[in-house]
Structures are given as C-alpha cells and as structure tokens.
Amino acid sequence: MNCPQCNTPIDEHQATQCLDAWVAETALKKSIAWPAHNEHPAIPGLELWNEQPRYSSDIAAAWQVVEGFKNFEPDRGGDSGFRVELHASGAFAAIGVYHELTIVGASAQTAPLAICRAALKAIEHERTIRNPA
C-alpha cells in the first residue's frame, strides 16, 4: 500500500503533510485537492492537502482519526467492527486496529504516526474484504 501522492510505502511514510492529507481523505472521508504548488480552482467542499490538521504528528489531531473509527461505516452497513488499542513505550508506539477477527497493526516512533499508518492499513483491509481480487 503506497501513498497516492508520493508513492511512499505506508510503513516507510514519515509524519508529513502528505500523510496527513492521505489520512484526511481516506480515514476521515474529506474531499482533498492534491494540486501542484497549491494552484486549484475554488471548489466548494474541497480542502487543500497541505491545510489539514497534523494527524501524523499531533496526538490531539491523531485522536480524531481514532474517534473516526467509531463512525466508520463500511458499505455493508451496520457496526464498523473496528476496535482500537494503542500501546506506547518510550520512543516507540504501536497500534492495533481490530476488524472482526483480524488485527491490522502499525508501529512508529510516535503514537500519532502509528495511528495514521494503522488507520490506513485497516481501511485498506476492509476494502480487500469487501472486494477480494
């Protein structure tokens, strides 16, 4: 799974505005404009990629992503089935996103970055379940 903008693999992606926008678009279902050098037409409801909260580096913003899982409703309806556990120790954080009988995890140097990585992985996992190749 690679970033749609910079093509960086999710487990290698650092805490950047690029990752923040990817999280906003995918996990929080915001409409994101990904223009070069911020040149874009004024489209109602479209948010600039580099004007998103710093989900990948600010724990308060990252917690919005965790809270978003409470409201994440897959197309199949009903409860999302997502449960989140965060583990932190020193300069290392790991998060597990439990979806039904599967755990999707991510680790990083910080909890916000781990949360963002795991959120994207969990949503991709959900998509894979709904639309197997």
Q: What is the dihedral of CA 49, 53, 55, 60, to 10 degrees?
A: -170
pTM: 0.78
CATH of the domain at 30: 3.30.2120.10
The answer to whether residue 82 is domain-embedded is: yes
pLDDT of residue 83: 65
Give per-residue pLDDT as tens, 48-77: 777 789 999 999 999 898 887 766 655 444
The answer to whether residue 31 is domain-embedded is: yes
Give per-residue pLDDT as tens, 31-47: 877 655 444 455 556 67
Confidence of residue 30 (pLDDT cuts 50, 70, 90): confident
Confidence of residue 80 (pLDDT cuts 50, 70, 90): low
Number of domains in the chain: 1
The amino acid present at 86, given as its one-letter code, is L
Measured CA to CA, the distance from residue 55 to residue 20 in angstroms comes to 5
Measured CA to CA, the distance from residue 123 to residue 27 in angstroms comes to 7
> Looking at the chain, which runs of residues are DSSP E strands?
31-33, 46-48, 82-89, 92-99, 102-108
- Of residues 88 and 106, more confidence is placed in 106
The answer to whether residue 123 is domain-embedded is: yes
| CB 115 within 8 Å of CB 53 | no
pLDDT of residue 50: 72
Confidence of residue 127 (pLDDT cuts 50, 70, 90): confident
